[in-house]
Chain A
């Protein structure tokens, strides 16, 4: 596709359930980033992939959060045993490299009831 895509666009789940968020980066982009943005707040860095490896996982809030990237392309962010404080917009971005412009996807709005 022409841009970064994310699915689902919206997800409502019950507290305690697991959710999986998907990101399809721009073809050929080696770097992929996950961010979280709560209402009215800035972007919180979660994790960064270079190819399939994640050199920086420092932003993951807890061990309930994990992410993987396969084939140097699609990435999934998994949140286990969701909590209400996990409610936010989860944004994915990709770039040709760390010093290149990041292109953001439309985000997944997660609501945990």
Chain B
């Protein structure tokens, strides 16, 4: 079967670091995407991992372990504008499988 598991909600303070974990099971695997979705808006691309390891892009980093079916998104130097939902989406045979997302609230 196909399953994605990530925390429903997280809170953090401005300037802090937060790690959003995701475990997944899919039929076929061709990489994993992270998307950000602000309330009332469409998702926007954050990162794509196809090989094991850490991909760093500015304040955001994403990690993948294919053998463990595990990924995390690391957000550093949190800003208020980072308050959003973060969607873990492994790429199956030909389509993304989206989880329900983690709603992150950043407080001053």
Query: A residues near B, CB below 8 A?
Result: 33, 35, 41-45, 48, 50, 55-56, 91, 98-99, 101-107
The answer on a CB contact under 8 Å between B45 and A98 is no
Interface centre among B31, B33, B50, B95 (most CB of A within 10 A): B95
Question: Who on chain A is nearest to B97 by CB?
Answer: A45
The answer on a CB contact under 8 Å between B95 and A104 is no
The answer on a CB contact under 8 Å between A48 and B94 is yes
Count residues of B near A (Cβ-Cβ below 8 Å): 20
The answer on a CB contact under 8 Å between A101 and B48 is yes
Question: Who on chain A is nearest to B41 by CB?
Answer: A106
Given A42-B98, A56-B94; 13 other pairs, CB 8 A cutoff: A33-B95, A35-B98, A42-B87, A45-B95, A56-B95, A91-B43, A98-B30, A98-B91, A99-B31, A99-B50, A102-B96, A104-B42, A104-B44
CA distance A107 to B43 in the complex (A): 10
Set of chain A residues within 8 Å of B94, measured between Cβ atoms: 48, 50, 55-56, 98
B7-45 CB mask vs A (1 if < 8 Å, else 0) is 000000000000000000000001101000000011111
Main secondary structure of the interface of B (DSSP, over half): loop
CA distance A101 to B43 in the complex (A): 11
The answer on a CB contact under 8 Å between A98 and B95 is yes
CA distance A56 to B99 in the complex (A): 19
29 sampled A-B residue pairs with Cβ under 8 A: A33-B95, A35-B98, A42-B87, A42-B98, A42-B99, A42-B101, A43-B87, A44-B98, A45-B97, A45-B98, A48-B94, A48-B95, A56-B94, A91-B42, A98-B91, A98-B94, A98-B95, A99-B31, A99-B50, A99-B91, A101-B33, A101-B48, A102-B33, A102-B45, A102-B96, A103-B45, A104-B43, A104-B44, A106-B42
Query: B residues near A, CB below 8 A?
Result: 30-31, 33, 41-45, 48, 50, 87, 91, 94-101
